[in-house]
Amino acid sequence: MHTKRMAMKNWNDQKTARAARIAAGQTVADGKMIPAERLTEFLEAVIRPGDRVCIEGDNQKQADLLARALANAAPARINDLHMVQSGVVLPEHLDLFDRGIARRLDFSYSGPQSARIARMLFGGQIELGAVHTYLELFARYFIDLTPNVALIAAVSADREGNLYTGPNTEDTPTVVEATSFKDGLVIAQVGEIVDRVPRVDIPGDLVHFVVDAKKPFYVEPLFTRDPAAVTETQILTAMLAIKGLYAPYGIKRLNHGIGFSTAAIELLLPTYGEALGLRGRICSHFALNPHPTLIPAIEAGWVEQVHSFGSEVGMEDYVAARSDVFFTGPDGSLRSNRAFCQTAGLYACDMFIGSTLQIDLAGHSSTVTTSRIAGFGGAPNMGSDPHGRRHPSEPWLKAGAEADITSPAPLRRGRKLVVQIGETFGDKNVPLFVEQLDALALAQKLNLDLAPVMVYGDDVTHIVTEEGIANLLLCRSTDEREQAIRGVAGYTDIGRQRDRKMVERLRERKIIQRPEDLGINPLDADRSLLAARSIKDLMLASGGLYKPPSRFRNW
Amino acid sequence: MSNLAVSWFEATARQRLAALVDDGSFEEFLGPEAREASPHLGLFDLPRQFDDGIIVGRAKLSGKSVLVAAQEGRFMGGAFGEVHGAKLTGLLRAARKLGQDVVILFDTGGVRLQEANAGELAISEIIRAIVEARTAGCSVIGLIGGRAGCYGGGGIIAGCCSHLIVSEQGRISVSGPEVIETNRGIEEFDSRDRAFVWRTMGGKHRYLIGGADDFVDDDATGFRAATVAALAAGKPLTRTVLEAEQHRLTTRLARFGKAQDGYDVWKALGMAQPEALPGLAVEAFLDIARDRRETSDDAR
C-alpha cells in the first residue's frame, strides 16, 4: 500500500496568506516603514477578523503605541480577534473587548487591570480561554495558540528591520520565534530608527514592519522595593529564612519573588548573613530581575551570577558595569529573556521563596480576591516542583529525603524548596491564613473548571511567618500538615484554633521551629541590620550607577 | 555602605532625644507612667499611647538647661490631639515662666482627624504660647528630619520658631502632597513623584529659600551641634524682627511666586546646575548653597 496524496491540497497557504498581508501593508507602508500617523489604518489593512493577535506586554514592558493604535481600529474592519498575550495591563488591552474588536482572550498576567478584567468577565464581554503561567502561554504559542500577528516593542531598529530590544528584551524573542517562523506577521514599534543597531536582538528578516514611536516603550518599575518601608517583622521573618532554611539546606541557586520579605532577605545578606559566615555558602546564583535591593549583596561579593526575566528601571548602568554578574551583550547592556529565565527558575534553582495574599489549611495559596483577577505571571513556574528534573544537588536531595523516608535513596526524587513567606497579618491587617481561598468563590462565580491557585499545597515545602517556620516536608498526615500551618499562623483565626498539644509535638520533631529554637531573639530584628535603609543608600552603594526613578527618591 | 550611626530619620522620638541631649540629663514630665492618653481615640476603636505620641521634659544641652519636646511620628503620624497639644502648650508656657529656651523635635502630619477640633485649638494655643515665650526672650528651636515631616498645623508652628534645623529627609509644608493633588489636580502637584515632593517641600529646598536656618546630615550629632550653636545665638522676637520677616516673605513671593518647581527657584537663585543639587552630599551642597541661598537675614 502506498500513501494516498490529498488531491489539490495546497501545502503553503499560510505563506501565501502572509505574502498577501505584506502586500496589503504596502498601501500604507514604505517598504518596512509604517508612518506613525497612519498606524491604525495600516493595522486595519493587515489584520483580518478572527486573527490570533499578540500585543507584546507583560508585568514590565509594553508595546503601548501599537496597543493604542489597534484599540482605535474600526470594529467593522477588525473584529472577533483572539488575543493571546502575556499581559493585559494597559487600558487599551481591554478597550479592544469593549469596542468589539476582540472577543476571546488567553493571557497570563493582568496586574493593574485586575478589577476591570474581572468585571468584564462577569459581564460576559470577554470570552476567556484560560489564565496561564508565562511559560505555559509561551509553550502554547508553539502548539495551539500561535499568533497570526505579533505587535512587539523594541528600543531601536535599522532600516532592514533588525531590532535592538536592549535590557528589557523579555518576551520578544519568544513571540517573534513563534509568529514569524509559522508564517505570521511581525510588526514592531521602536523608540528610534538608527543606521546601525547597538546589537541585533531580533534579526530583520523575521520582522515585517516597523513603526517609529519616537519615544521609548513603557516600562513599569515593578521590582523596586524601598528599604525605608521594610518593617521589623519582615526583618524577623527574613532572619528566620536565612538561618532556618538558606543555611541548613545550603541554598545557592534560587529565585526570589517580589515583595518586602524577600527584599529584607537581600538586604540582610551582607550584615546578618555575613555574621553567620554564610557568604559563598548561600545565594550565589539567582534567576532574578536586577532588584535594586540586591546591590549591597553584589557589592559585598555574595553573588556570582544572575540571569534575568527583564530589567529594572534605573538599573541599566549598574548592570552594564557588573557584567561578571549579569548577562550582557556586545553593546554592554543587559540581555534578559523571560522564557529562558522562567525555565532556569523552574529547572536550575533549588528554591523559590515569595509572598502571597492567602494560604489555606492545605497550603494552597492565591493572590486572587473575589473582585480581582490578577493572573499568574511566572510565580507558579518558580513555585513548583519540576517533575522533569534529573540533576542532583545537595538541597534538592536533602529536601527529597525529608519528604520520603521509605524509598531507597537512588530511586528517591529530590524536592525543590518552595517557600511561602509573610506576616501573619498582611497589608491593612488582613490575615494571611484563611479557611477557604477567595479563588474558590471566584471559580464558582465564573464557572471555571479550575480555581486560580498560585502555588498548590503539594508543591509548598515551608511556610515562614514571624511566629516561626513550618516544614511541610516532614509532615506525615494531612492532620499534621494542617496543625503545622496553624502553628505558624499567629493570632489569626486559623492560628488561634490550633491544637496546642499537637503543635508542641510538631515543634519537638522540628516540623515547627520558633525563633528561639533557631537562636534568634526577635528583639534583634532591627532596621539597623539592613545593609541599606533607603533608596539613597542603594544609590550610594552602587557608586552612583543605580539611577532610581523620580517616584522612589526622597531627595 | 549605609551610615549606621543614629539616623534621625530612622530613630524613634525617644532615641532622638537620648542622642540629642547630654547623657542622662533628660527628665520627663507626664511620662507614659502617668497614662495621660487620648480620651477620644477609644471612641473610634483606635489604639492609644500612654504618652499620646509626644514626650516633654527638661534636659541639658552642652551643660545648658533647656525644655524639650519630641513628637513620635510612628504613632498616628505624630498628629496633634488634645493631650498631645496640651503637653506642648504647657511646656511652652512653663518656658516663659522659667525663662528657658525650648527645643521641639517635630515629626508630624498635622492635626489628628479623630479629634480635629481639640487639635486645631491646640495648634492655636501652641502658636500663642510660642509668641509669648519668644517675646519674653526665650528661643524656640525646631528640629525637622523625621519620617512624617512637619505638615499641617505643625508647619505653621515651625514657621513661628526662632530657628529651624532641617536634614535632607525633612519636609516642611502646610498642605501635604496628596492633599494638594486631591484639591488642585495632578497637573498642579503629582504627589507620587517623590523627587518632586522633595524639590518643593524637602530639607534642601527649605534651606535654599530661607525656610530653615541650618541644613545638617541625617544623624543625631549634626542636629545636636546645630542646636547647641542656635541656643548660644538666641534672638528675641521684637517688632523689628517681625517687620523684617514680613518684608522677606513679601520679596520671596514676588521673586519666586511664579515658579512651578524647585528647579525654577534654584535657577533664579543663581545655581548653575539645579538638577545636580538633590544628589549632592551635605558638605558639597552647603559649599554651593551657603552664599546663594535666600537668607533668613536674621528675621527669626
Cross-chain Cβ contact B204/A554 below 8 Å: no
pLDDT tens for each residue of A299-312: 999 999 999 999 99
Distance from CA of B4 to the nearest CA of A (A): 7
Per-residue pLDDT band at B279 (split at 50, 70, 90):
confident
Q: Residue B2's pLDDT is what? A: 36
The Cα–Cα gap between A191 and A67 comes to: 15
What residue type is A447 in one-letter code? N
Interface probe, candidates B12, B189, B190, B194, chain A, greatest A C-beta count within 10 A: B194
Per-residue pLDDT band at B160 (split at 50, 70, 90):
very high
Cross-chain Cβ contact A531/B2 below 8 Å: yes
User: A346, A480, A455: which is closest to A403 by C-alpha?
Assistant: A480
CB A521 within 8 A of CB A515: yes
Q: Residue B297's pLDDT is what? A: 58
Angle at CA A471, nearest 5°, toward A469 and A472? 135
H or E, element range at B73? none
Cross-chain Cβ contact B2/A555 below 8 Å: no
The Cα–Cα gap between A53 and A83 comes to: 5
Nearest chain B alpha carbon to A299: B1
Interface check for B169 against chain A (CB to CB < 8 A): the answer is yes
- Neighboring chain A residues of B168 at a CB cutoff of 8 Å: 555
Interface check for A554 against chain B (CB to CB < 8 A): the answer is yes
Q: Residue A3's pLDDT is what? A: 57
3-state helix, strand and coil shares in percent for chain B, rounded to the nearest 5:
50, 15, 35
User: A89, A24, A29, A21: which is closest to A51 by C-alpha?
Assistant: A21
Partners of A326 in the β-ladder: A306
pLDDT tens for each residue of A500-530: 999 999 999 999 999 999 999 999 999 999 9
Distance from CA of B170 to the nearest CA of A (A): 9
Interface check for A531 against chain B (CB to CB < 8 A): the answer is yes
Per-residue pLDDT band at B233 (split at 50, 70, 90):
confident
Question: For chain B, which residues make up each domain, given as ranges?
Answer: 13-172+212-236
CB A536 within 8 A of CB A530: no
pLDDT in tens, chain A (555 residues): 555 666 688 999 999 999 999 999 999 999 999 999 999 999 999 999 999 999 999 999 999 999 999 999 999 999 999 999 999 999 999 999 999 999 999 999 998 999 999 999 989 999 999 999 999 999 999 999 999 999 999 999 999 999 999 999 999 999 999 999 999 999 999 999 999 999 999 999 999 999 999 999 999 999 999 999 999 999 999 999 999 999 999 999 999 999 999 999 999 999 999 999 999 999 999 999 999 999 999 999 999 999 999 999 999 999 999 999 999 999 999 999 999 999 999 999 999 999 999 999 999 999 887 788 888 999 999 999 999 999 999 999 999 999 999 999 999 999 999 999 999 998 888 999 999 999 999 888 888 899 999 999 999 999 999 999 999 999 999 999 999 999 999 999 999 999 999 999 999 999 999 999 999 999 999 999 999 999 999 999 999 999 999 989 888
Cross-chain Cβ contact A550/B169 below 8 Å: no
Domains of chain A by start residue, with CATH:
28-219 (3.40.1080.10), 221-230+252-347+526-546 (no CATH), 350-513 (3.40.1080)
Cross-chain Cβ contact A550/B194 below 8 Å: yes
- Picking from A296, A530, A551, the nearest residue to B193 by CB comes out as A551
The rounded Cα B266 to chain-centroid distance in angstroms is: 22
The pLDDT of residue B195 is above 70: yes
The pLDDT of residue B148 is above 70: yes
Cross-chain Cβ contact B194/A296 below 8 Å: no
Interface check for B279 against chain A (CB to CB < 8 A): the answer is yes
Cross-chain Cβ contact A555/B278 below 8 Å: yes
The pLDDT of residue B1 is above 90: no
CB B95 within 8 A of CB B101: yes
Buried-state track B141-173, b at ≥16 Cβ within 10 A, e below 16: bbbbbbbbbbbbbbbbbbbbbbbbbbbbbbbbb
Fold of B13-172+212-236: 2-enoyl-CoA Hydratase; Chain A, domain 1 (3.90.226)
Interface check for B196 against chain A (CB to CB < 8 A): the answer is yes
Nearest chain A alpha carbon to B192: A551
Cross-chain Cβ contact B194/A530 below 8 Å: no
The rounded Cα A319 to chain-centroid distance in angstroms is: 20
The Cα–Cα gap between B165 and B233 comes to: 14
The pLDDT of residue B298 is above 70: no
Q: Residue B3's pLDDT is what? A: 37
